[in-house]
Amino acid sequence: MAQPALTATGDSATRPEGWQGIAADWSSDQRAFKNVPWGKAMIWIFLLSDTFIFSIFLLSYMTVRTSTTVPWPDPSEIFALSIGGERLPLILIAIMTFILISSSGTMAMAVNFGYRHNRSKTAVLLLLTAVLGATFVGMQAFEWTKLIVDDGVRPWGNPFGAAQFGSTFFMITGFHGTHVTIGVIFLIVIARKVWRGDFDNNRRGFFTSRKSHYEAVEIMGLYWHFVDLVWVFIFALFYLW
Amino acid sequence: MEHAEGQQHPIGIYLKIWGWLFVLSTASYLVDYFDVEGYLRWSLILLFMVLKAGLIVSIFMHMFWERLALVYAILVPPLLVLVFVGIAWFEADYTFLTRVTFFREGIWGM
């Protein structure tokens, strides 16, 4: 172990050739990210690519909103709700924001208790995160229904103003909602693994056949916080702007 | 050793950040509630957005404690998006100008 990588070692004959050689060479002991497990480095690289996807969605939204000569619909009015006889602007989105932030809080604590090998607390916090995430998706379904059925918003037009409002809204929030939904499913899977003690008993995953450790909870957490992070940008740039 | 097993920090710091995220979200909601307009609105929205994003990435996602090799590998590439934003905004603004000039305002809404 820990041999420094040397050039011209002359051992190429002993290494695999072809495609197997490529895989073997790239998976050898050259490590850039010294003290993080490979899974964590990989989820970060995945999140980086996801960042670009959401960036491009928000960029195209900026482009169409800047270039249209038709007034942009006012999200403050469209997403207002009457609660107790008082009309509150954007209140639904504000509540959704607080729910998602709270789920990030419970997730961060789940990661923490995971590394302390506190199985029951970790599993409960993961499930709580999943419940909050599912609530968020439920409220989003309500929001979409109201917009489509009551207000008649479509990707190609709406009664409030610029037609691009509908297309960018459904694209951006739909893609984000998909991320939340996938996150909720994975949260339940990881919670089950924690509850059963897979990370303490070295039980192999049903899909990967690999042993896993409590870093899996942190990797789950990174994905979940990213979903919250994307919402911060959507909330500011789409709903508040 | 801090990295003996992953990231271990006192629970208190997460609760504190949770609280701050609530405060910042409330603040950005109030910008809309009180109908703040124009440059003040946009700068406040962006300020609260950047602060929230910073807290989530650095504390919740532990970037504050990671080695720089990882931090730079992940955080520098998205900065290039800002160049893209600049280019796209410049182009969109030009499109708007041509639409106003040649088609007159309102025709797309008919």
Domain of A126: which CATH number?
1.20.120.80
Residues of chain A contacting B32 with CB distance shorter than 8 Å: 76, 89-90, 239-240
**Alpha helix stretches (DSSP H) within A68-90:** 75-78
Least confident interval from A77-86, A113-122, B23-32: A77-86
Q: What is the number of structural domains in chain A?
A: 1
Structural domain boundaries, residue A128: 72-240
Touching check for B97 and chain A: CB below 8 Å?
A: no
CB interface of A with B, residues 35-64, below 8 Å: 35-36, 41, 44-45, 47-48, 51-52, 55, 59, 62-64
Residues B75 and B45 in one domain: no
Whether B95 sits inside 8 A of A67 (CB atoms) is: yes
In this prediction, residue A206 carries a pLDDT of: 83
Picking from B1, B7, B8 by the largest number of A CB atoms within 10 A of its own CB, the best residue to mutate is: B7
Whether A97 sits inside 8 A of B49 (CB atoms) is: no
- How many angstroms separate the Cα of A193 from the Cα of each of A105, A118, A126, A199, A223? 21, 13, 11, 7, 17
Whether B93 sits inside 8 A of A105 (CB atoms) is: no
Touching check for B46 and chain A: CB below 8 Å?
A: yes
Whole-prediction pTM: 0.88
Match 């961060």 to its residue by tokens: A108
pLDDT digits (tens, 9 = 90+) for B26-46: 999 999 999 899 999 999 999
Touching check for B12 and chain A: CB below 8 Å?
A: no
Residues B61 and B75 in one domain: no
Task: Note whether A187 and A127 are within 8 A (CB).
Answer: yes
pLDDT at B65 over 70: yes
The complex scores an ipTM of 0.89
- A125 by Cβ neighbours in 10 Å (0-12 / 13-18 / 19+) ranks as buried
pLDDT digits (tens, 9 = 90+) for A118-130: 999 999 999 999 9
Task: Note whether A228 and A100 are within 8 A (CB).
Answer: yes
Structural domain boundaries, residue B2: 1-66
**Alpha helix stretches (DSSP H) within A158-214:** 164-196, 198-201
pLDDT digits (tens, 9 = 90+) for B50-62: 999 999 999 999 9
Mean pLDDT, chain B, as a whole number? Answer: 88
Q: Which of B22, B48, B59 sits opposite A101 (nearest CB)?
A: B22
Q: Which of A35, A44, A109 sits opposite B74 (nearest CB)?
A: A44
pLDDT band at A86 (very low <50, low <70, confident <90, very high): confident
Residues B30 and B61 in one domain: yes
pLDDT band at B104 (very low <50, low <70, confident <90, very high): low
Residues B58 and B77 in one domain: no
**C-alpha span between B81 and B83 (Å, rounded):** 5
A54: in domain: no
The rounded radius of gyration (Å) of the Cα atoms in chain A is 23
CA angle (A140 as vertex; A137, A142 as ends), nearest 5: 115
Instruction: Kindly state the helix (H) or strand (E) to which residue A83 belongs, with its residue range.
Output: strand A81-83
**C-alpha span between A39 and A220 (Å, rounded):** 10
Whether A236 sits inside 8 A of B73 (CB atoms) is: no
Q: Which of A69, A101, A104 sits opposite B105 (nearest CB)?
A: A69
pLDDT band at A109 (very low <50, low <70, confident <90, very high): very high
**C-alpha span between B110 and B97 (Å, rounded):** 19
**C-alpha span between B5 and A227 (Å, rounded):** 25
Question: A39 by DSSP, 3-state: which?
Answer: helix
Residues B57 and B85 in one domain: no
Residues B5 and B45 in one domain: yes
Residue B54 has which token pair? 């910073």
Four-residue CA torsion sign, A140, A141, A143, A144 = positive
Q: What is the number of structural domains in chain B?
A: 2
Task: Note whether A131 and B24 are within 8 A (CB).
Answer: no
Residues B95 and B85 in one domain: yes
Whether A218 sits inside 8 A of B3 (CB atoms) is: no
Residues B44 and B72 in one domain: no
Residues B39 and B79 in one domain: no
